[in-house]
Chain A
Amino acid sequence: SQQGEEDPQALSIQEGENATMNCSYKTSINNLQWYRQNSGRGLVHLILIRSNEREKHSGRLRVTLDTSKKSSSLLITASRAADTASYFCATDGYTDKLIFGTGTRLQVFP
């Protein structure tokens, strides 16, 4: 069973707009990670946020973590067509293995 669920399942926006994706998870975690997957290929690691962190930035990405609500959000600012991909959150659920969420499919139109 999956630990995380992303919301929305799919998101379509215009280039230049911001995209926000949310992830909810079930159990306590040590860290939460976000990955991107282009069209059925391998995943690319975007960012890792530890359970004692509340916010983290990397370029146009901003991730927040609210452990009291067991949720995280990924914000992509000034989106580009190249950002079109599926985005997954992954948590460790206090174990040694990553458990991936269901993913959000992001479509950015030029």
Chain B
Amino acid sequence: KAGVTQTPRYLIKTRGQQVTLSCSPISGHRSVSWYQQTPGQGLQFLFEYFSETQRNKGNFPGRFSGRQFSNSRSEMNVSTLELGDSALYLCASSRTSGTMETQYFGPGTRLLVL
């Protein structure tokens, strides 16, 4: 089975721009979660999508949004980028929703905002 894939792997943007990151879950997995990882704040939960619906949301501003398609692929969008948005963005998929499920992580998208 192919693992979780994320595109692009690396991205450089400037302040004020917007960015869209993509995540393809493991085949058959219906839940996709997104995390932001920075040296200062560590790993922080952004949101979770299950069957095209957002189930959970972390404490991030409305500039961070996401969606999930009928094939379970997910995208997250960050608008009006700030320097502090520079981070490794990780997505994880699981068969179903809930924290008892093992999450399988992708390699991440490293975003640098200049």
Contacts and interface: CB of A to CB of B under 8 A. Distances in A.
A43 to B, nearest CB: 4
Give the residue among B42, B90, B97, B103 with the most A Cβ atoms within 10 A.
Answer: B42
B99 A30 contact: yes
Interface residues of B, number: 26
Contacts, number: 62
Contacts of A98: 33, 45, 99, 103
B60 to A, nearest CB: 12
* Secondary structure class of chain A's binding surface, majority of residues: loop
Interface in B67-87: none
B90 A42 contact: yes
Contacts of B105: 35, 42-44
Interface in A1-60: 2, 30-31, 33, 35, 40-45, 48, 50
6 contacts: A33-B102, A41-B107, A43-B103, A96-B99, A97-B45, A103-B42
Given A48-B100, A100-B44, 5 more contacts: A40-B108, A43-B90, A43-B103, A96-B98, A103-B43
